[in-house]
Structures are given as structure tokens and as C-alpha cells.
Amino acid sequence: MSTALEITLIVTVASIGIAIVGFLGFRISRSTREMGTDAEQATFQALHHMSVAVPHLAEGLNEVSAAKAARALRKLLGCQGLVISDTATELGVETSQALPEPVLAELRGTVKDAIATSKTQVNKLPGTTLVSAPLLRSGTPVGAVSAVHAHAGAGFVRAVSEVATFVSAQLSLAELDASKAMLLEAQVRALRAQISPHFIYNSLNAIASFINTDPARARELVIEFADFTRYSFRRRGDFTTLAEELEAIDRYLLLEKARFGERIRVSLQIAPEVLPTQIPFLSLQPLVENAVRHGLEAKPNGGLISITATDEGQYAMIQVEDDGAGMDPQKLSSVLAGTTTNLHVGLRNVDVRLRQIYGSGHGLVIDTAPGAGTLITLRIPKFVPLPDAEIGA
């Protein structure tokens, strides 16, 4: 091959190489610009690691949640090791490499000091800095977040303190969620207790009245009574479907009709598409019972109870109406505010539960006046995720 040809080939190859490098450089530069500035990328990464930790911290402070959250938080701080502790032991330990036992021993002492003083503690060792920041719940130390770093400055110490504040906030929210769940369960138990003495006594008396005159009817009522009480006192789930609640109401009204006969009339208008809607357990039955006990029972000729449910887009609109005695609006306000006891307790419990679950704008809407009957409206979101519901379990 001639020298001229060799030179030509070399130049050509070099030109192609330069073009490829230039093209790749352009693409990398463009990709970097599309990701934003260095500061924006750092912010995105920090938010990402925090969002990964949140679901685990929502479970509270335990070995499983702490271990999973520690992985994300160590990446957030960019340190060699991160430990989440309670007041007694290390719950979650995440390290890039095993920490020497002397370092762990010093770390435990730093954690103890942070919990005892409720302040961030810094312990400098040769080539290693230990930082422990307390986890506070209602101002009381419940643990600590500790980080191990080779070259930690004031900024890193501040970052560990901020991470501990973030974890503390998530643990407080987890505690709030647990308290809310316990409150809702307590309110359901209260509703069950409200149903049991009054309803059971009257139902058994009604059944007994048919034993001699109509044994077949008595057997039917016993079955309905058993099914209703089984539903009311079930221990599973805080939610049910509208269809299941309506079945329970149907059994309840059959038993009440055994007492009142034709004095109680019932009208149902239910859109089929809202039947699968998840609603809080025992949120409709107490309203129907209120209509019977406080609306129609005192009227010599009884009256009509109308239950309607319509599809309103993202909501199921449910109404329970009676043409009974009605209520004084001021007294009703006192009932819903909780300043009146032993009267319409079911209404208040249902109202409080709806507001806690769906927000303050989703309580009971009640239109009533003495002698004008009562109309109660519920507006239930149809598509709110309810992971603790045990529909049909």
C-alpha cells in the first residue's frame, strides 16, 4: 500500500472517530441538560430516596420497617453506614461495608447520649465521624438515626439532624393513623353496643309472640335475627359494600315489621351500579334504626321510610328519609357536636366516622324539623382506595 493511501486511510479513520466522539458528547450533553442542573438532579435524588423511605416508616418503628427505610436514608446521606435505633437496640443497620466492632461500640454510646439529651451528638474517631440525632415523638425520645462518615463536616451533621426530623414526623403520622384506626373501631363497637340491648329485647319478644300462633313465621324471624346479629357483631373489616349493608337493613326491617306490622312501610330505589360501593360498616343501619325509633315509633299510624341510592359520577348519593316526628334543628346540632348524650348516639357516631374517613366535607347532611320528618344524606366517594377493607371476607 502506498504512503499516500495509508495517510488517506488514517485521516479518514481519525475523522470518523472525531465525529463519533463529537456525536456522543452532544448526546450526553443534551441528556444532562434535559435532566436539569446539578442542583436539580441532586434535589430529585434526595426526594426520590425520601419517597422510598416513607411507606416503610408509615408502618411504625420496628425491625422490618427500619431495615428497609435505612437503605434509602443511607443513599440520601451518602454515608458509609446508617443505623435506626429505638431506645433499646439497633432496629435497622445499612452499611456499604461491615463496621468494625469498636466503631459499633462507640456508635451505641453516641446513640445513648442522643436519646438521653434529645440533642444531636457528634463523636469523632480517627478517620471516622459518628453522628446520632434523636427521634422524637411528642417531644419524647423514642430512638435515634445515626450515620457513619469518613469526612463529616457541619453540613453533614445538619443533614443527619434533618433526616431525624423527617423520620420523627413520619413516625408521628404512623401513630396518628394507628390511633385513628383504634378510634374508628371503638366507634363501631359503640354502634354494636347501641344495637344490642334495645333491638335484641324487642326482636325476641316479637319472635316469641309468633311461636304459638304462626310457628313458620317464628322460624323465619329467628333466621333473620341470627343473620342480622351475625352481620352486626362480625369482627372483620371496617368496611362493607352497600349491597351487604342493605341486606342487613332488610333483615332489621323485617324484624321491626314483626312488631309494628303495617305501621312501617318501606320504599327502596337503588341504582344497581352503586351496589358494589364500599361504605363504612354500620353507616346506614343506624340511620334506619333512628328513623324507626325516633321518627315512626311514636306515631300511631307509623309512616314511610324511603332509602335511595343514586350514581353521581365519582360519588354514591345515599338518602334515608322518614315522614315521622322529625327533630328540633338546635337539638340536632347539639347531638352532632357531642354535647347531648344518650340521644341519637348512632347519628353522631356515623357522622364522626364519615368525616374522619373521607374528610370534613363528607359528614351527614340532615334536613329536619318537628313534625316534618327527617331526610339524611350521605355522599360517599366511590373510588377511594380502602386497603383495610375486607369485602366479602
User: For 344-359, what is each residue's pLDDT tens digit?
Assistant: 667 888 888 888 888 8
pTM above 0.85, yes or no: no
Region 3-17: what's the mean pLDDT? Answer: 46
Predicted pLDDT of residue 333: 82
Q: What confidence tens digit (pLDDT) does each residue in 59-104 have?
A: 777 888 888 888 888 888 888 899 999 888 888 888 888 888 888 8
Better-predicted residue by pLDDT, 38 or 182: 38
Residues of the chain above pLDDT 70, percent:
75
Residues of the chain above pLDDT 90, percent:
21
List CB contacts of 285: < 8 A, sequence separation 6 or more.
195, 232, 245, 248, 249, 252
C-alpha–C-alpha distance, residues 364 and 86, integer Å: 42
C-alpha–C-alpha distance, residues 125 and 145, integer Å: 18
Predicted pLDDT of residue 393: 40
Predicted pLDDT of residue 319: 96
- Mean pLDDT, the chain, rounded, equals 78
Predicted pLDDT of residue 366: 92
Region 136-158: what's the mean pLDDT? Answer: 86
Sign of the CA dihedral running 28, 34, 40, 42: negative
Predicted pLDDT of residue 320: 95
- Give which of 116, 180, 162 is closest to 143, Cα–Cα: 116
Which segment of 29-33, 46-50, 268-272 scores lowest on mean pLDDT? 29-33
DSSP one-letter code for 100: P
CA atoms within 13 A on the CB side of 83: 27
What spatial distance separates the first Cα and last Cα of the chain, rounded to whole Å?
Answer: 85
Q: What confidence tens digit (pLDDT) does each residue in 196-221 have?
A: 466 676 777 878 878 888 888 888 88
User: Starting at the edge strand that comes first in sequence, how are the strands of the sheet with 374-381 ordered?
Assistant: 264-270, 303-312, 315-322, 374-381, 365-368
Q: In this model, does residue 192 exceed pLDDT 60?
A: no
Predicted pLDDT of residue 299: 81
Residue with cell 457528634: 122
- Give which of 338, 350, 337, 332 is closest to 187, Cα–Cα: 350
Which segment of 24-33, 36-45, 115-124, 318-327 scores lowest on mean pLDDT? 24-33
Q: In this model, does residue 29 exceed pLDDT 50?
A: no
Q: In the numeric block, which cell numbers belong to residue 373? A: 320528618
With cut-offs at 50, 70 and 90, classify the pLDDT of residue 341: low
C-alpha–C-alpha distance, residues 54 and 136, integer Å: 17
Better-predicted residue by pLDDT, 188 or 280: 280
C-alpha–C-alpha distance, residues 275 and 242, integer Å: 5
Domains in the chain (CATH in brackets) are 38-175 (3.30.450.40), 214-381 (3.30.565.10)
Given a contact cutoff of 8 angstroms between Cβ atoms, the answer to whether 306 and 319 are in contact is yes
What sections of the chain are H helices per DSSP?
3-35, 38-57, 63-77, 101-117, 154-211, 215-232, 242-260, 285-290, 329-337, 345-358
List CB contacts of 162: < 8 A, sequence separation 6 or more.
none
Q: In the numeric block, which cell numbers belong to residue 257? A: 315489621
With cut-offs at 50, 70 and 90, classify the pLDDT of residue 109: very high
Give the best-scoring range by mean pLDDT among 15-24, 154-163, 191-200: 154-163
- Give which of 81, 160, 151, 77 is closest to 119, Cα–Cα: 160
C-alpha–C-alpha distance, residues 135 and 86, integer Å: 8
Q: In the numeric block, which cell numbers belong to residue 134? A: 434523636
Better-predicted residue by pLDDT, 308 or 342: 308
> What is the DSSP secondary-structure string of 4-52?
HHHHHHHHHHHHHHHHHHHHHHHHHHHHHHHH--HHHHHHHHHHHHHHH
Q: In this model, does residue 306 exceed pLDDT 70?
A: yes
Rg (CA), the chain: 33
Q: What confidence tens digit (pLDDT) does each residue in 152-187 have?
A: 788 888 989 988 888 888 777 766 655 555 555 555
Region 12-21: what's the mean pLDDT? Answer: 46
CA distances from 112 to 95, 126, 127, 152, 376 (A): 20, 21, 22, 20, 56
Q: In this model, does residue 16 exceed pLDDT 60?
A: no
Given a contact cutoff of 8 angstroms between Cβ atoms, the answer to whether 278 and 313 are in contact is no
C-alpha–C-alpha distance, residues 385 and 44, integer Å: 28
C-alpha–C-alpha distance, residues 241 and 233, integer Å: 16
